[in-house]
Amino acid sequence: MNCPKCKGYHLKPQKLDNGLVALSCDNCNGALLSIVQFIQWRATQKSSDVQSSGICEIDETSQLLHCLKCAGFMTKYKISNQTHNRLDLCFRCYETWIDSGEWQLLQQLDLYQRLDDIFSDQWQNHLLHNPNPDIENTIRAQPLSTPNKSKKCLTTNKVATYFLDSLYVPSDSTLFHVSISGLG
């Protein structure tokens, strides 16, 4: 599989964290991670198992990415109101693209074990309607999703819902329909 960002670079297995392997690009250092694999990994982790490598440069892919498995568009999900970074998710294949430095950012924000929660409607709605980063502690304090419970992700009729903040009208949160047919 080739990198969805760099196109011509082959992805290779690389350790993302202790016991967690993703397909990584040597050129941009981005990584493709299976959410199913992540949930299995998280079930084996203790909160003290985090291995943060300190401050690093964080990249952000602004372009639409195509899923490497189904070739569909990946949807961008806001991580936190403390950062502009977004994670890309293929909700059909449940694979996520993590840009260079974003895993370390998730660790610094203590969100590295909540990856599937970030993709939930509840998380995204909370970020949209509560722009104050301090309020995020409220949802961080909630229990983690359990691996045996199915966490509902965005459905196909909401593909572009969280693609950009500009999809919303802040006064009444009305969703604009955006055509993505000329983007590539």
Contacts of 101 (CB under 8 A, 6+ apart): 29, 56, 57, 58, 59
pLDDT of residue 94: 94
For the chain, the C-alpha Rg in angstroms (whole number) is 16
How crowded is the C-beta side of 100, counted as CA atoms within 13 Å? 12
User: In angstroms, rounded to a whole number, what is the distance separating the alpha carbons of residues 130 and 140?
Assistant: 13
Question: Any alpha helices (H) in the chain, and if so which ranges?
Answer: 35-43, 102-108, 115-118, 121-129, 136-140
pLDDT value of position 180:
38
Distances (CA, A) of 88 to 11, 22, 31, 134, 170: 16, 14, 11, 24, 23
Spans of all domains in the chain? 11-42+55-175
How far apart, in whole angstroms, are the C-alpha atoms of residue 159 and residue 88? 12
Closest CA to 20 of 39, 48, 1, 46: 39
The answer to whether residues 159 and 75 touch, using CB atoms and an 8 Å cutoff, is yes
Predicted TM-score (pTM) of this structure: 0.67
Q: Block means of pLDDT (10 residues each) for the chain, length 184 residues?
A: 88 94 94 94 74 52 85 93 91 93 92 92 90 60 46 36 33 36 38
pLDDT for res 24: 96
Q: Return phi, psi of residue 103, to 5°.
A: -65, -45
- Dist CA 120 CA 162 (whole Å): 11
Separation of alpha carbons 11 and 22, rounded Å: 9
